[in-house]
Amino acid sequence: MAAMDGQQAMRENEFSPVVEGNLVHTGGETHVLNFDTNVLSLDNVRVPTEMTDGAENEIVESEDEEDEDIELSPGGILDEETIGRNLSNLGRSADGSQQVFLHVQIAGFSLKDITALSNFVHLQKVELPYNELTDLSPLSSLQYMLILDVSHNKLTKLLDFMPPKNLKEANFGYNEIEEMADLSAYHYLTVLNLDHNKISKITGLEKCTRLQDLSLAHNKVERIHGLENLPLQSLNLCHNHIKKIENLETLRLLRSINLAGNNIRSLAGLEDHPLLENVDLEDNEVIDISEMKYIKESQMLRQVNLLRNPIQELPDYRLSILFRMPSLTELDRHRVEVEEKVAAVNMFNPPAEIVAARDHIMHVVYSFLQPSRILDNTLPSMETPYPMLVLVGPQGSGKKDLALKLVEEFSDYFGYCVTHTTRKPHKEETPGRDYHFVDLEKFEFDIRWGQFIQTHQYHGHWYGLQMQSIEDIAREGLACVVHMELEGVLTLKNTYFEPRYVLIMPLSPECHEKRLRERALYTESQIEDNLERAEMYQDYNRDHPGFFDMMINSDDIEESYKHLRRLVMDYLGISIPSFESEAGDIMETKDTENAPTGTQLGTRTWSRPSIPDSMSQQYTRGKTTQSPSLSGRGILEAMSLKRRHSAAKASVAGYIPPLFEQITSQYPKTAPQTVDNQVGLDVVTITEDMNRSQSAPVNNKPPQSDEDTSSDDESDSSLSMSSARKFARSPEGSVHNGKDPHLPTETMNPMELSNPRPPSVPRPTSQGQGRPGSDRHKVLPPINQKGAYMPEL
C-alpha cells in the first residue's frame, strides 16, 4: 500500500521525495539510502514496473508485517532503522555536493544513546524531544546543525558538546539543567529555550551577540542580569522568583517581555524601551496605577497583561490604564474597544467643554433642588444683560492684579467679584478681598445648596463663582470684574450671563516662568503645567475666533494695565479716542500676528461701529439689529438665535404664549444702531438664549441670615422664572418701569430701601437705556454726561 502511495505521489509531483524504508522515490527515480551517512546512493535502482504493478499488494503486505516485527532502537539505543524512518527534507548538503536528508525527528523513543546519529553529519535540523537523553556528545560531529530540539529529556548540562558553529536555535526546555554553560562559542545562536529547568542564575550569554529570543520560563531565576547588550527582542522570564525589573537598560531592541508569575511590584526598569510591544505581568504584585508611567511612553506598546495583580481592584482600573496608554489594542487578554478609549478620556481628561457642561448641569440641578429666589440685580433684561468683565488666562498671567487695579481705579463702575476657593490664602492676600477662603466641606456644602454657578478644580484646589457674589456687586449698581481659567469661562458661557472675556496672556514663556518663580508658590510641575496651559490658551484663542473678546499681552503688567484701562474706558464710553488711536486699535485687531504687545483683538471688537472694518463689524456686539447674522457666533449663540427666530415666527403665527411675544417684539430694538447710541456698556449686543436664562434667574439659597431673608422674602417666595421674565419686559417692549402687575416693583429689592447706597459719588443715570442688569438701578453713565465720573486719562 505504501509503495502504491509512493508511486502515486511520484506521478503527482515528481520532485517531491517519498521515503519508504531505505528507498527514496524522487524525480521519477528510486534511490537507495546509505544509512551510514544519510547520503543518497548514486546507484539508482529502477524498480521494475511489473513488480510495482503486478505484485504490488503482496509486497506491501509483506513489508507491513516486517515493520511490525522490527523493534526500533531497542533499549533506548538509537539505531539506523529508526533514523532512516525519521529522516526527511531532502536537499543539498551544506557544501552543495550531495543530496542529503536535512531533518531528523525522533520523538518519544525513550532514547538514551544517540551515537548512531553521529554519522549523519549533514543533518541541519535535529529534533529529539521526549526521550531520556543525558548526553549529547554524539552531536559534536553534526557541524552543519542549525536547529536542535532536545526538550523533554533528562539533560543536566546545556550544550555540552563540541559546538556546531552555525547552531541558530536550541531548545533545551523541560530538562534538569541547573546551571547555564558558557555559550560564548555559539556565535550564531538566535533562539535559546531553557524553559522548565532548574536554572537560578543567568550566565554565559555575554558573547551570544545574535541572541534575539531567550526563554527561561519556569526556572528559579531570582535576578535579571547577565543580559547586558544582547540584541534580545523577546525575553521570557515568567514563573521565576524575580522581585525587581532590573538590568534591562541596554536591551534597546526588546519587543516582548514576559514576567508573569513573579513577585514584581513596580514596573520601574521597563522604561526606555521604544520598541516594546508586549508586556505580560500577569500574576504579580503590581498595586499602583502610577507604575504605568514606566511603560506609557513606549510608543509601540499594544498588549499589556496585568491580570491577577492587586491593581485590578482599583476602581475604574481598566479605563485608567487605557487613559494612560491609549494605543493599547489588548489589555488583560481582552481586545480594547474604541468606546472604552473614548470613555477613558471622558473620565480622566475630558475636553474642557465637557467639564464645563458637566459643571453647569451640576449647578443647575442643585439650584433646582432649592427653594427659588429671584436675584433682581442680575436679572437679565432683553436689552442689557448684567455687565461682567471676565479676565481669563493661565495662572501667573497677572489677571488678578489687573482686576483689582481696575476695580480700584474705576470703583464707580466696577466691583471685584470675590470668588470662593479651598486653597489657603497667600501672605499678601486678604480673606474676603482676594477670595472667600473656605474649607472643602463648606465648598461642597455650598455646591449642594446650589450656591455656585460655576466651579473649577485647579492644581488640587477648588475655585467657584457664587451667584450671590455677583449679586452683591450688582446690588451696588456696579458691573462685575472676575478672573478665572478657561474651564470657568466655558461654564459661564452656558449660563445666561454674557460677559466680556478678555484673555490676559503672557506671550513670552520666559516672562511667564519668571513671574511664576518669583512668587515662590508653585511646585516645578505646577510651573510646567502653567507654561503648558499658556500654550493651550494661545491655541484655543487661535482655533476659536471670537471666543475671547480681546487679548492683552501681559508680559509687562504695567503695559497691559494701560491697554486694559484704555479698553475699559472705551467700553464705558468715558473717553473718546481720537480717530488715529482708534485706527491704531483696529490695526492691532487686524494684524494680531505682528502686534508685539498690547491689545489684540480676537474677532469681536469693542471698537466703534463706524470704523470701516468688516471683520470687526461682523463680530461687534450690537450690530445685528434687524437681521442678526449667525456668522461669527459661537454654536450656542447661533442656536439661541435660531430658536429666537423660530419663536418669532411662531409668535407671528399666534402659536406661542405672550412671553415670547414680549421677547420677540423687543428684539429688533435692542441693539444700538449708531456710534452715538453705542456707548457705554449698553453696546453689548443681546444674544438672549432662553435656554440659558432658565438656569440662572432663579437663585436658590440655603437658609439665610435674618438680614438677608428680610430683604428678599417677598420676591423669593412666589416668583417663578416666567414671571421674572415678564418683569423684565413689558408686552409692548419697553423697559419696564416697575409697575408690572405681576411683580410689585418696590418689593423687588427691599435691600436697597433698608440699606440705601451712600450718595458719595454722583452717579449718573443712563438716560433710559437701562442700567446693566436691573431696570431699576441705572448706574452706568452715558457718555460725557455732565457730572459723570471721569477718570484722568
Ligand X SMILES: Nc1ncnc2c1ncn2[C@@H]1O[C@H](COP(=O)(O)OP(=O)(O)OP(=O)(O)O)[C@@H](O)[C@H]1O
The residues of the shown chain that bind ligand X, judged by CB under 6 A, are: 393, 395-400, 419, 454, 456, 458, 463-465, 483-485, 488
Q: Considering the complex, what minimum distance in angstroms separates the CB of residue 485 from ligand X?
A: 4
Residue among 191, 59, 703, 789 nearest 445 (CA): 703
And the C-alpha cell for 383?
A: 436689552
Q: Considering the complex, what minimum distance in angstroms separates the CB of residue 286 from ligand X?
A: 35
Query: Which residue lies nearer to ligand X by CB, 462 or 667?
Result: 462
Q: Considering the complex, what minimum distance in angstroms separates the CB of residue 531 from ligand X?
A: 13
Query: Which residue lies nearer to ligand X by CB, 462 or 496?
Result: 462
Q: Considering the complex, what minimum distance in angstroms separates the CB of residue 289 from ligand X?
A: 27
Q: Considering the complex, what minimum distance in angstroms separates the CB of residue 391 from ligand X?
A: 8
Query: Which residue lies nearer to ligand X by CB, 86 or 560?
Result: 560
Query: Which residue lies nearer to ligand X by CB, 197 or 367?
Result: 367
Torsion, Cα of 128, 134, 137, 143 (10° steps): 30
Query: Which residue lies nearer to ligand X by CB, 361 or 753?
Result: 361
At position 711, the amino acid (one-letter code) is: S
Q: Considering the complex, what minimum distance in angstroms separates the CB of residue 396 from ligand X?
A: 5
Q: What length does the chain have? A: 793
Query: Which residue lies nearer to ligand X by CB, 325 or 507?
Result: 507
At position 183, the amino acid (one-letter code) is: L
DSSP reduced 3-state for 77:
strand
Dist CA 696 CA 692 (whole Å): 7
Q: Considering the complex, what minimum distance in angstroms separates the CB of residue 492 from ligand X?
A: 9
Query: Which residue lies nearer to ligand X by CB, 323 or 458?
Result: 458
DSSP reduced 3-state for 104:
strand
Query: Which residue lies nearer to ligand X by CB, 39 or 402?
Result: 402
Query: Which residue lies nearer to ligand X by CB, 395 or 605?
Result: 395
500, containing H or E segment: strand 500-505
Strands 256-258 and 334-335: unpaired
Query: Which residue lies nearer to ligand X by CB, 192 or 465?
Result: 465
Q: Considering the complex, what minimum distance in angstroms separates the CB of residue 472 from ligand X?
A: 15
DSSP reduced 3-state for 436:
strand
CB contact set of 664 (below 8 Å; sequence gap of 6+): 644, 647, 648, 651
Q: Considering the complex, what minimum distance in angstroms separates the CB of residue 778 from ligand X?
A: 29
Q: Considering the complex, what minimum distance in angstroms separates the CB of residue 441 from ligand X?
A: 18
| Exposed/middle/buried for residue 207 (C-beta within 10 Å: 0-12, 13-18, 19+) | middle
475, containing H or E segment: helix 467-475
Dist CA 479 CA 780 (whole Å): 8
Residue among 749, 727, 713, 12 nearest 372 (CA): 713
Q: Considering the complex, what minimum distance in angstroms separates the CB of residue 432 from ligand X?
A: 14
Residue 346 φ/ψ, nearest 5 degrees: -65, -30
Dist CA 583 CA 562 (whole Å): 17
Query: Which residue lies nearer to ligand X by CB, 17 or 394?
Result: 394
Dist CA 629 CA 467 (whole Å): 31
Query: What does DSSP assign to residue 299?
Result: T
DSSP reduced 3-state for 554:
coil
Q: How many other C-beta atoms are found inside a 10 Å radius of the C-beta of residue 643? A: 14
